[in-house]
Amino acid sequence: MNKKKRIVIALGGNALGNTLPEQMAAVKVTSKAIVDLIEEGCEVVVTHGNGPQVGMINNAMIALTHEDAQQPNTPLSVCVAMSQAYIGYDLQNALREELFNRGITDIPVATMITQVRVNEDDPAFNNPSKPIGKFFNEEQAKMMEEKYGYIMKEDAGRGYRRVVASPKPAEIIEIGTIRTMVESGDLVIACGGGGIPVTRQGNHLKGASAVIDKDFASCLLAQELDADFLIILTAVEKVAINFGKPNEQWLEDLTVEEAKKYMEEGHFAPGSMLPKVQAAVDFASSKEGRTALITLLEKSKDGIQGKTGTRFHL
C-alpha cells in the first residue's frame, strides 16, 4: 500500500469569514474541500489565519476596559489564544460533521492550542509594522499610547491603528504532541493565527506583543512534521508576475531558483503574496521531494493532482 501524502493546509482569512455567522457558514465550505483531500488518501493537518478575528477580540477587550476601570488590558498573546480556540471550535465541529456525512467515523478531529517561540532579539520587535484592530483618530491614538503603551501609526489616510511586531517563528512548543496526534491518525488543527507568540525566559514562556505570519508558521510546522505538501490557500488560483498589468503572466510550475529571481525583481506585494511565496520557497527548498502549492481553497484537490495552482519545487 502506498504511503499517504501528508499535507499541511494553511487556510487564509477568506476561508473563515469576518464575523461569527460568516465563520459558521464559511467553515462548512472549507470542511468539504479538506475532506475531499482526505478521501483522496491524504493525511491532512490544518492551520489558519486569524486577522479579522484577533482584531475583533482585541477591540472587545479594549471596550471592556472602558466599562470597568479595574479591568486590566488583555495581552495580544491572550487574544491570539482566544482566536485559536473559537476558530478551532467551529472548524473542528464542521470537519467532524463533514467526515460523518461521508461515512468516515474513524478520524478524530482536535484543535491544539499552539504556542510558537520567537526570538526576543528578532529585528521585527524594533520595527513594529503589522496593523491590527480598528481605526482611531489622532486624539484616541494618543490616549491608547499613554494608557496601554501601544505603538500607533497613521494608516494610509484612514486614521491610526495599533501596529505590532511580526517576528519569524523559531520553535513550535507543542510539536511533540501535534506529531503524536498526527501519527495516530487524528485530523489536527494547529498553529492558528501563526501560533501564540512567546519568548523563552528560563523555563517560563512569556507572551509577546506580536502576530506571527501564519504562512511562515505553517512552513515550519510542515517541515517539523516531514510533510510532502504545504498548501497555502489564497484569493487567486495561481501566482502571477506583473500582476494587474497588460503583460500579467500566471505561473504554474516554479523552481526555487526561479521563484527567488521573481522575488528579487519585486513581483510580489509585501504583506500580500510575498510572504506566501517566501514560505513556499522555504518549504520546497528544505528537502528533496517536498512541494509547496499556492491556490484557491476549492481548487486544492486539483492542485494536488497537478491540474492547477502554482507549484514550487527544487
> So what's the pLDDT on residue 63?
82
Does residue 48 lie within any of the structural domains?
yes
- Mean pLDDT over 191-202 rounds to 96
Q: For residue 246, how many C-alpha atoms fall within 13 Å in the half-sphere facing its CB?
A: 0
In a domain, 139, yes or no: no
Q: What is the mean pLDDT of residues 239-243?
A: 91
Confidence at residue 269, expressed as pLDDT on a 0 to 100 scale: 82
Q: Is the pLDDT of residue 18 over 80?
A: no
Instruction: Answer whether 197's CB lies under 8 Å from 132's CB.
Output: no
Residue of 108, 292, 132 lying closest to 209 (CA atoms): 132
The arrangement of strands across the sheet holding 229-233 comes to 109-111, 187-189, 42-48, 5-11, 229-233, 291-295, 310-313, 253-255
Query: Strand, helix or coil at 85?
Result: helix
Q: How far apart are CA 218 and CA 293, in angstroms?
A: 12
Whether 142 is covered by a domain: the verdict is no
The three-state (H, E, C) secondary structure of 116-171, written as one string = EEECCCCHHHHCCCEEEEEEECHHHHHHHHHHHCCCEEECCCCCEEEEEECCCEEE
CA distance 109 to 91: 9
Say what the pTM is: 0.90
Confidence band (pLDDT; 50, 70, 90) for 20? Answer: confident
Neighbours of 253 (CB within 10 A): 11
Residues 198 and 169: their CA atoms lie apart, in Å, by 10
pLDDT tens sequence across 95-112: 999 999 999 999 999 999
Q: Is the pLDDT of residue 57 over 70?
A: yes
Lowest mean pLDDT among 66-75, 83-92, 114-123: 66-75
Residue type, 86: Y
Q: How confident is the model at residue 1, as a pLDDT?
A: 41
> 156 lies in a domain?
no
Report the candidate in 312, 235, 243 with the shortest Cα–Cα distance to residue 279: 312
On the question of pLDDT at 251 being above 60, the answer is yes
pLDDT at 66 over 90: no
Domain of 309, in residue numbers: 6-115+173-313
Is 165 a domain residue?
no
Q: Give the pLDDT mean for 183-187.
A: 96
pLDDT at 13: 67
Query: What percent of the chain lies above the pLDDT cut of 90?
Result: 65
Q: What are phi and psi of 220, to 5 degrees?
A: -65, -45
The predicted structure's pLDDT at residue 279: 96
Q: Is residue 92 part of a domain?
A: yes
Average pLDDT over the chain, rounded to whole?
A: 91
pLDDT in tens, 140-174: 999 888 888 889 988 767 889 888 899 999 999 99
CATH number at residue 39: 3.40.1160.10
Closest CA to 215 of 36, 31, 8: 8
Number of structural domains (the chain) is 1
Q: Where do runs of H (alpha helix) occur along 184-298?
A: 214-224, 256-264, 273-284
Number of Cβ within a 10 Å radius of residue 86: 17
**pLDDT band for position 14 (cuts 50, 70, 90):** low
**Inside any domain, residue 257:** yes
User: Helices 76-101 and 51-67, interaxial angle, to 10°?
Assistant: 130
Question: Could you report the per-residue pLDDT of 265-311, keeping only the tens digit for each?
Answer: 999 988 788 999 999 999 999 999 999 999 998 888 898 888 999 99
Which residues does 3 contact at the CB level (< 8 Å), separation at least 6? none
Catalytic amino acids?
13-14, 130, 214, 276
With respect to residue 152, please indicate whether it lies within any of the assigned structural domains.
no
